[in-house]
Amino acid sequence: MQESNLSISIAHLYPKLLNLYGDMGNIITLIKRCEWRGINVEFEQINTGDCIKNHDLYFIGGGQDKQQEEVAQELYSHKDELTAQRDEGAVFLGICGGYQLFGHYYQPHDKDKLPGISLMDAYTIAGNKRFIGNVTVKTDFLTPNTLVGFENHSGLTYLQGETKPLGIVSTGHGNNGKDGFEGARFKNVFGTYLHGSLLPKNPHFADMLISLALEKRYGHKIELEKLDDKLEWETHNSLIDKPY
């Protein structure tokens, strides 16, 4: 199928509230990497009070506890629709605070638990230490096998059941600084603590998400045209196992 006849629909969930440390850069990357290939992008921002239509890919960024509180109840009201979308193969990417809300709950310090939407079997508890710095993750599903980014969180995320990590931390702390894992994946739902923003310097992961979203829409794998990612890879490689 000619890429010029392809379309992909992307929703950015609650950008006015959850968009920390340049997380908007992930949306820009997804849109540009589609447009550079002539793939038409139907893009929608979902804000408080909006209904959530069916999309091929949903993105949600990170935020401080206060913003997470504002989003949590709203997101929870869409739990059933988004779970149905997950089960139809829609792609989700959640960063940090958004990632935490993909699990069953986020327990802040001295406050009531925030409900998650249980797209993945995980939970988060606020820790007493803030994890800040560069992170390098060794994965088993990407080539090259590294993901690089920046973390700034106190939440400690624990994975259960069939929810698997994105990989093993070789630099930084990751999900909880104890089990050596960073991020999570269940079906086509991906979560990570990697800000930075993540996708501009991890083009292989960006293209994987686009491919999965196209496969969900068209029902079969679609080979993406290669892009000139020289700058992206120079940036990626310059960050591998550099703690700061």
Whole-angstrom distance, CA of residue 8 vs CA of residue 191:
20
Q: Which helix (H) or strand (E) holds 122?
A: strand 122-139
Per-position x/- string for 77-116, each x denoting binding to ligand GLN as judged by CB under 6 A, each - no binding = -------------------xx-------------------
Closest contact distance (angstroms) between CB of 106 and ligand GLN is 7
The answer to whether 231 touches 201, Cβ cutoff 8 Å, is: no
Residue matched to tokens 């969900």: 216
Number of H helices, E strands in the chain: 6, 12
Residue range at the interface with ligand GLN (CB under 6 A); choices 1-9, 58-66, 113-121, 208-216: 58-66
Whole-angstrom distance, CA of residue 226 vs CA of residue 153:
34
Closest contact distance (angstroms) between CB of 165 and ligand GLN is 17
When binding is defined by CB under 6 A, the residue of 83, 107, 152, 235 that contacts ligand GLN is 152
Question: Binders of ligand GLN: how many residues, by CB under 6 A?
Answer: 12
CB-based burial of residue 174 (10 Å sphere; 0-12 exposed, 13-18 middle, 19+ buried)? buried
Tell whether residue 153 is a contact of ligand GLN (CB under 6 A). Answer: yes
3-class SS at 230? helix
Residue with nearest beta carbon to ligand GLN: 62
Tell whether residue 64 is a contact of ligand GLN (CB under 6 A). Answer: yes
Tell whether residue 192 is a contact of ligand GLN (CB under 6 A). Answer: no
Contacts with 112 (C-beta within 8 Å, 6 or more apart), sequence order: none
Note if 12 is an active site residue: no
**C-beta of 96 vs 117, nearer to ligand GLN:** 96
Residues that bind ligand GLN (CB under 6 A): 20, 62-65, 68, 96-97, 152-155
Residues with active-site annotation: 96, 195
